[in-house]
Structure 1
Amino acid sequence: MSRFLRASILLMMLAACGGGGGNYSAPRQLDDACAIIRERPHYLRAMERTERRWGIPVHVQMATIHQESKFIGNARTPHRFALGVIPMGRQSTAYGYSQALNGTWEEYLATAGHRRAKRDDIADATDFMGWYMDESSRRLGISKSDAESQYLAYHEGRTGFANQSYLNKPWLMEVAKRVAARSEMYRQQLAYCR
Structure 2
Amino acid sequence: MKKMLLTVIATVSFGIVQAQTPSTVTESVPAVTSTEKSFYEQIPLVSDVISFAKQHLSIRYRSGGTTQSGFDCSGFTRFCFKHFGISLPHSSAAQGNVGQAIDKTDAQPGDLILFKGHSSGGNRIGHVGLITEVVGDRVKFIHSAWSGGVRYDYLHADYYQRRFMGVRRVIHLLADK
Normalised TM-score (structure 1) = 0.27
Normalised TM-score (structure 2) = 0.29
Larger radius of gyration: 1
Which structure's residues are more often strand, by fraction?
A: 2
